[in-house]
DNA sequence: CATGTTTTGTGATTTTTCTAACATTTTTTT
DNA sequence: AAAAAAATGTTAGAAAAATCACAAAACATG
């Protein structure tokens, strides 16, 4: 990609941020180049803007649900996550202060918040923040710091203190691995502090993972299973289920299947 | 519209709720009918679902709302801002730690950062952060807090302390009003603390405003003109220019015209 | 300033989407 | 059960969009 091309894309991106589409011809006119050049720009770009039937739309704006075809979404566990989040949303009440963890698992939860009008969301994830910022009735508190690309989230030394100062009601936590003996873990160490602080601060802790995470151990352990009040999981393959129910009664965790 | 048709539409609507698109062929397969039937269903419906380039989308999906030419008006401003930012970018060197202010003025500056690979950007604006996060070679530090929709930025009590702790090289500041006697001002009071802290911390302060801001006073004053080393402005209408040059020599500020 | 490279434009070609007409099937009515 | 009506499928052609190939222009470089 070249400099001028990047500038045109930025120009178009600015036009499309906040939603909407523009037709190829319109985009070409706007940038003062031919339609073919716009096509080439978009094709060579990182995929932030895509074509849909001769129109340009923002694709990766987390503010919106993905544009991809539904069968692709099916493949990427999109529907599974949607179901999980639907279950999770049932715990939310008007006036709550929610902690929402980073990752893609809890993204569908954000779009379910639009029906409330007195929520506060605390997060340290950029994608979550961008999505929440678009909701009119939801207050957003972003815990800043140094950005980590790997998890689209921020990390800082005093994040735990910042979380302590907030009155968090319910914490929705995601994880990359959940094991009854070895606890709940994630990939990145900078996520440990905010997760722990949120779990400690929250009245109710809800762990949301899809079933591929069960029995898996990742490098950064941040809690034991007993730290959570509810585990929301999708039990398509119910084989491991019975053993998990045993663990559940042992740790008093409540398992919900989406 | 007929009963079976309504049922198919309901089914498709369910698949599309929460955004996303579904291709005509996919929809036909999903409902077990021909593509033509889906077309007829959609055509005869109330308009909740619409076609866009062979794909079905919910009509109320803001992502697909046609954004008619936000042209000239916003477009011309955009190019002005682009010029301003091009001037501003000339001050940036490899290895710098930049403070980038909120607003739309400095957005084009972000896309100009992609040619560097050892920059650090400090900001308290969500739109700036989102844009910087996409750049591979740039470290991002976001100053978090409570989100303010009006300026797409965050505010918190300890932001000034957080800025003090950072080694900021160059501060790029935007403003809603610049007046030689009454100083530099913005609309929102929560912007004052970070702007002041950044100005105090930075080695070099660069004020970037378009000429419509000259001679304007806004509610929240955050600095005098003498606090800045450089003022970058577009001098299309050069009328006020001579008087500004006088102020410039008085305050030792360097005026650049884009 | 000539040279080679990159970027952009143009027109031809292929693919996809849209529309319309008519055939076929299903449902309803008599 | 036959006829009529409604719904759906099939095909063909028009329109739009996507791709390709090459020419022209802009840019960089020695």
Average pLDDT by stretches of 10, chain A with 258 residues:
72 73 87 90 81 82 47 54 84 95 87 84 92 84 94 93 94 93 94 97 94 90 94 68 65 69
Residues B102, B188 within the same domain: yes
Of B45, B64, B83, which residue is a domain's last? B64
Distance of CA B114 to the CA centre of its chain: 16
- Domain membership flag for residue A209: yes
Contact A247, A225 (CB under 8 A): yes
- Chain A hits for B140, Cβ within 8 Å: 146-147
Is residue A213 included in any domain, yes or no? yes
For residue A204, is it within any domain? yes
From B13-27, B128-142, B164-178, B186-200, the region with the lowest mean pLDDT: B13-27
* B64/A20 Cα distance (integer angstroms): 5
More confidently predicted of B50 and A147: A147
CB proximity A36–strand C (7 Å threshold): yes
Q: For residue B90, what are the contacts with CB-CB under 8 A and spacing of at least 6?
A: none
pLDDT score, position B244: 67
Measure CB to CB from residue B147 to each of A3, A82, A142 and give the nearest one. A142
**Rounded to an integer, what distance in angstroms lies between the CA atom of residue B109 and that of residue B87?**
9
Quickly tell me which residue has 């987390």 as its tokens. A62
CA distance B157 to chain A (A): 11
Q: Report yes or no: B36 and B61 within 8 Å, Cβ to Cβ.
A: no
Place B61 in a pLDDT band, splitting at 50, 70 and 90: confident
CA distance B253 to B241: 14
Mutate which: A115, A147, A151, A165, vs B, most B CBs within 10 A: A147
Angle at B190 (CA atoms; ends B186, B195), nearest 5 degrees = 60
Residue A39 belongs to domain with CATH number: 1.10.10.10
Query: Are B64 and A3 an interchain contact pair (Cβ–Cβ within 8 Å)?
Result: no
**Integer distance in angstroms from CA A53 to C1' C15?**
13
Nearest 5°: phi and psi at B221? -80, 130
pLDDT band at B72 (very low <50, low <70, confident <90, very high): very low
Q: What percent of chain B has pLDDT over 90?
A: 39
Q: Which residues contact B139 (CB under 8 A, 6 or more apart)?
A: A146, A147, B119, B120, B121
Nearest C-alpha of chain B: how many angstroms from A171? Answer: 18
CATH number, domain containing residue A201 = 3.40.50.1360
- Domain around A203: 72-257
B144-162: buried (b, 16+ CB within 10 Å) or exposed (e) per residue?
Answer: bbebbeebbbbbbeebbeb
Give the 3-state secondary structure of B208-238. ECCHHHECCCCCEEEECHHHCCEEEECCCCH
User: Which class for B89: exposed (0-12), middle (13-18), buried (19 or more C-beta within 10 A)?
Assistant: middle
Helix (H) or strand (E) holding A199: helix A192-201
Instruction: Please indicate, yes or no, whether residues B228 and B121 belong to a single structural domain of this protein.
Output: yes
- B60 to chain A: which residues are within 8 Å by CB? none
Residues B77 and B137 in one domain: yes
The better pLDDT of the pair B40, A13 is held by B40
Provide the token pair at B138. 């740039």
Same domain, B51 and B80: no
**Range 6-25, chain B: CB under 7 Å to any strand C atom:** 23-25
Residue B58 shares a structural domain with residue B135: no
As a rounded value in angstroms, the CA-to-C1' distance for B37 and D2 is 28
Give the protein-side footprint of strand D (Cβ within 7 Å): A 23-24, 36, 39, 43, 51-54; B 2, 4-5, 32-37, 40-41, 53
B175 and B55 within one domain: no
* Mutate: best of A3, A13, A14, partner B, most B CBs <10 A: A14
Using a 10 angstrom Cβ sphere, with 0-12 exposed, 13-18 middle and 19 or more buried, the burial of residue B113 is buried
- Could you say which of B42, B64, B86 is where a domain stops? B64
Number of domains in chain B: 2
Residue A138 to residue B28: CA distance in whole angstroms? 38
Smallest CA-to-CA distance from B92 within B74, B112, B72, B78 is with B112
pLDDT number for residue B44: 82
- Which residue minimizes Cα–C1' distance to D6? B2
Mean pLDDT, rounded, of chain B: 84
Name which residue leads in pLDDT, B190 or B1: B190
> Partners of A254 in the beta sheet?
A230
Interface contact flag, B53 A58, Cβ < 8 Å: no
Q: Are strands B170-173 and B204-208 parallel, antiparallel or unpaired?
A: parallel
**Are B149 and B45 contained in the same domain?**
no
Could you tell me the distance in Å between the CA of residue B62 and the C1' of nucleotide C21?
36
What's CA B149's distance to the chain center, in Å?
A: 12
Q: What is the CA radius of gyration of chain B?
A: 25
Residue A208 in 3-state DSSP? strand
pLDDT at res. A84: 84
A147 assigned to some structural domain: yes
From CA A108, how far away is CA A81, in angstroms rounded?
7
Where is the domain boundary, B16, B35, B64?
B64
Shortest Cα distance from A113 to chain B (angstroms)?
Answer: 12
The tens digit of pLDDT for each residue in B98-132 reads 999 998 888 878 877 877 878 999 999 998 898 78
Rounded distance in angstroms from the CA atom of residue A159 to the C1' atom of nucleotide C15: 54
Q: In terms of domains, do B156 and B238 share one? A: yes
Asked, for residue A66, whether it belongs to a domain, the answer is no
> Which nucleotide lies nearest residue A32, CA to C1'?
C8
Residues B164 and B84 in one domain: yes
Tokens of A83: 């179901």
Predicted pLDDT of residue B77: 64
Q: pLDDT by residue (tens digit) across B213-249? A: 888 999 999 999 999 999 988 865 445 555 666 666 6
CA dist A54 and B204 (Å) reads 46
Distance in Å from D9's C1' to B227's CA comes to 75
Dist CA A22 CA A59 (whole Å)? 13
* Separation between the CA of B62 and the C1’ of D24 (whole angstroms): 41
My answer on whether A110 and A162 are in the same domain is yes
| Of residues A21, A129, A147, nearest to B140 (C-beta) | A147
Q: Give the phi and the psi of residue B100 in degrees, each rounded to 5.
A: -120, 125
Q: What is the pLDDT of residue B237?
A: 46
Kindly list the residues from chain B whose CB atom is less than 8 angstroms away from the CB atom of residue A7. Answer: 82, 108, 111
How close, in Å, is residue A20 to chain B by CA atoms?
Answer: 4
B40 strand C contact, CB < 7 Å = no
Place of tokens 């419509």: B212
pLDDT of residue B121: 96
Q: Write the residue in B18, B111, B162 that is nearest to A7 by C-beta.
A: B111
| pLDDT score at A73 | 47
Q: Give residue A166's Cα distance to chain centre.
A: 21
Q: What is the pLDDT of residue A74?
A: 46
The confidence score (pLDDT) of residue B236 equals: 57
The answer to whether residue A63 sits within a structural domain is: no
pLDDT in the model for residue B75: 47
For an interface test with A, give the residue of B12, B18, B102 to mutate (most A CBs within 10 A): B18
What is d(CA B218, CA B237) in angstroms, rounded to the nearest whole number? 22
* Same domain, yes or no: A23 and A79: no
Q: Are B49 and B13 in contact (CB under 8 A)?
A: yes
Number of helical (H) and strand (E) elements in chain B, helices listed first: 9, 15
Instruction: Mark whether A118 and A179 lie in a shared domain.
Output: yes
Angle at B74 between CA B98 and CA A55, to 5 degrees: 100
Instruction: Please give the pLDDT value at position A83.
Output: 78
The pLDDT value recorded for residue A8 is: 84
């Amino acid at each position: 990609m070249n400099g001028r091309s990047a500038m045109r894309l930025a120009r178009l991106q600015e036009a499309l941020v906040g939603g909407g589409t523009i037709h190829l011809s319109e985009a070409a006119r706007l940038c003062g180049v031919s339609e073919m050049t716009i096509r080439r720009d978009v094709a060579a770009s990182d995929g932030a803007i895509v074509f849909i039937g001769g129109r340009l739309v923002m694709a990766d704006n987390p503010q919106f649900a993905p544009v991809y075809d539904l069968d692709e979404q099916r493949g990427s566990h999109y529907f599974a996550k949607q179901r999980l989040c639907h279950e999770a949303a049932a715990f939310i009440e008007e006036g709550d202060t929610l902690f929402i963890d980073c990752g893609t698992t809890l993204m569908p939860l954000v779009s379910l918040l639009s029906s409330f009008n007195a929520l506060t969301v605390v997060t340290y994830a950029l994608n979550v923040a961008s999505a929440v910022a678009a909701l009119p009735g939801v207050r957003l508190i972003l815990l800043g710091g140094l950005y980590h690309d790997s998890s689209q989230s921020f990390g800082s030394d005093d994040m735990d203190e910042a979380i302590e100062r907030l009155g968090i009601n319910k914490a929705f936590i995601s994880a990359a691995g959940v094991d009854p003996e070895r606890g709940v873990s994630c990939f990145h160490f900078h996520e440990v502090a905010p997760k722990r602080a949120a779990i400690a601060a929250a009245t109710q802790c809800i762990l949301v993972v899809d079933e591929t995470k069960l029995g898996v151990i990742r490098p950064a352990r941040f809690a034991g299973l007993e730290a959570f009040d509810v585990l929301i999981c999708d039990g398509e393959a119910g084989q491991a289920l019975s053993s998990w129910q045993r663990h559940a009664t042992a740790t008093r965790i409540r398992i919900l299947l989406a």
